[in-house]
Structure 1
Amino acid sequence: MNYRNLRPAGHLLLLLATTYAGDALAADGCAKSANTNYQIGQTAEIEVTNDIPPGTIVRDEKAHGDGNVVASCVGDVTLEGKYTAVLTDGLIPLMVGGELSGFGLEIYVEENFGAGPTYGFPHSYHRNFGKGGFIRSDDINVGYRVKRMSGNIRYGRVDPGEIAEQAASSLTGGFTPPFRHMQIYELWFKRPTCSISAETLNQTVSMGSYSLADFKNPDRATRWVNFKLTVQDCKEPVGQIARFTFGSATDADPDARDLFRMLGTGPSHVGLEIASAGKHTIEPGKPYEANALATGEDFDFYVRLRETLYSVGAGAFTRPVTIRVDFL
């Protein structure tokens, strides 16, 4: 067997060139690690009226983070915040049911756990993290101001949704995806409460004196006697409902359930009938509703005696009737 030296036909020299990227490794910037939401409102109810002048601040509050890490950063970092909603006159118009509420919102951030400095939106500012650090959700407070705008107020829950965001310059260039999100959570515009004057709620209505002859008519009843419940305070009656409940079901006369039974030594076979302004009977314990009225106006009601069984007996009476009034 013959052996030969096998030699390659040529030589290949492979040169690998590298450049030390120390500057790139030390670049300033952040890497996003999580999202955090700042809830604007948090079941806040704001009582407002149409006579509030435009520009008036009706709420000035702050939302806080829960402390989770949202980004890891090195060196000098730029933070940028912007609105994600369209502004009108420098404010985010707040909507209720898709319609203008008559109020707008502006927000700002307070750095260093709320100790300052403060930056409005939109903004661009710097923080230095040295050789490394973190951005946490509670590093800032998110302040918000609700201001009166022009137009009639629309009451109800403000439409929820994101209104602003914040990101930081990235280790890889440009900016990180937004990690701070400012959202309208649960915010309500409510009407001021209305009330009925204590004097009219506690009044005594004189029914007068009657004879059997007064019941000799098709209704088998006496004449109607008017009484009024006066509105003590109601600044925004339009759209509100007043609900009146006279007595309870246990007050009903057993022989005529739509009447109030007499108590004690009152006349027999007679019940007390309460009616609305339109002379429609209001049964004991059954709510009656009417459109709310403005301050100083009166709700008209009527009362009379009506026969329940033949025939009416003599007697005198004083009949207390409780009244509950709810404004809806």
Structure 2
Amino acid sequence: MRLNKLVMALGLGVALVAGSVNAANPSQGHGTVTFTGSITDAPCSITPETVDQVVPMGSISSASLKNGGRSSSTPFKISLDNCTTETISTVTTTFIGAKSSITGGDGLLGIEGVAKGAGIAITDAGGNKIKLGTPSPAVALHDGDNDLHFAAYLQGDTSPDAVVPGNFTGIANFQLTYQ
């Protein structure tokens, strides 16, 4: 009987020590996962990777932008998934944002930041400039996945000495219209 009490006391002691060791262990990582999105009345879904994206335009020489010059084009795309073309077969894209105020910058996206004297031009897959707020030419869709190809370049002000070096950003929203 005495041995049973000793074994029980020893077992209880081990359980208490193990419990306190476990309680003393700090969290080894935790976090939150938030899922966001929207359900749209559209024949295609926009892939998560291209619904909100950053297009790095690189380091552009101010000399290349003088007197209305332009940078090289940087391609980007909007990817559409699971398209069904039973009733709708084309899509247009309209880019919306702050208009550029540079001389010779009609339809360009404005830039913000330290850099001045330039605007961002957006082109379709054929290299044709898409004016801000104006729909792109219609692109034919096919069932399944589709990519809408675009490019962007920086265009300088046509006024002499208007280009000021520095970092910039330009933010455009896009709207798809299916027909």
Q: TM-score normalized by structure 2?
A: 0.66
Q: Does residue 1:258 correspond to 2:107, yes or no?
A: yes
Q: Which residue of 2 aligns with 1:319?
A: 170
Structure 2 distance, partners of 1:300, 1:194, is: 16
Q: Does residue 1:298 correspond to 2:147, yes or no?
A: yes
Structure 2 distance, partners of 1:270, 1:235, is: 40
Q: Which amino acid aligns with 2:133?
A: G
Tell me which protein shows more strand as a share of its residues.
1
SS of 1:214's equivalent in the other structure is helix
Q: Which amino acid aligns with 1:242?
A: V
Q: Which amino acid aligns with 1:201?
A: V
Q: Which residue of 1 aligns with 2:63?
A: 213
Q: Does residue 1:282 correspond to 2:130, yes or no?
A: yes
On the 8 A contact 2:83/2:146 being kept in 1, the answer is no
Gaps of 5+ in 2: 1-41
Using the TM superposition, give the Cα deviation of residue 237 of structure 1 relative to its aligned residue in structure 2, in angstroms.
7.2
Q: Which residue of 1 aligns with 2:74?
A: 225
SS of 1:252's equivalent in the other structure is coil
Using the TM superposition, give the Cα deviation of residue 198 of structure 1 relative to its aligned residue in structure 2, in angstroms.
2.8
1:190-209 maps to which residues of 2 (within 5 A)? 193-209=43-59
Once the two structures are superposed, residues 155-184 of structure 1 have per-residue CA deviations (whole angstroms, 9 ceiling, x without a partner) of xxxxxxxxxxxxxxxxxxxxxxxxxxxxxx
How many residues are aligned here?
133
Tell me: CA distance 1:303–1:252, structure 2 relative to 1, closer, same or farther (3 Å): same
Structure 2 distance, partners of 1:204, 1:228, is: 11
Structure 1 distance, partners of 2:59, 2:79, is: 26
Q: Which amino acid aligns with 1:197?
A: T
SS of 1:199's equivalent in the other structure is helix
Q: Which residue of 2 aligns with 1:34?
A: none
Q: Does residue 1:272 correspond to 2:120, yes or no?
A: yes
SS of 1:213's equivalent in the other structure is helix
Using the TM superposition, give the Cα deviation of residue 318 of structure 1 relative to its aligned residue in structure 2, in angstroms.
2.2
Tell me which protein shows more helix as a share of its residues.
2
On the 8 A contact 2:123/2:152 being kept in 1, the answer is yes
Computed over aligned residues only, the root mean square deviation of the Cα atoms, in angstroms, reads 2.3
Structure 1 distance, partners of 2:117, 2:68, is: 14
Question: Max radius of gyration: which structure?
Answer: 1
Using the TM superposition, give the Cα deviation of residue 234 of structure 1 relative to its aligned residue in structure 2, in angstroms.
0.8
Structure 2 distance, partners of 1:214, 1:224, is: 13
SS of 1:200's equivalent in the other structure is helix
Q: TM-score normalized by structure 1?
A: 0.37
Structure 2 distance, partners of 1:298, 1:197, is: 10
1:1-328 maps to which residues of 2 (within 5 A)? 193-215=43-65, 220-236=69-85, 240-248=89-97, 251-254=98-101, 255=103, 256-263=105-112, 265-294=113-142, 295-308=144-157, 309-311=159-161, 312-328=163-179
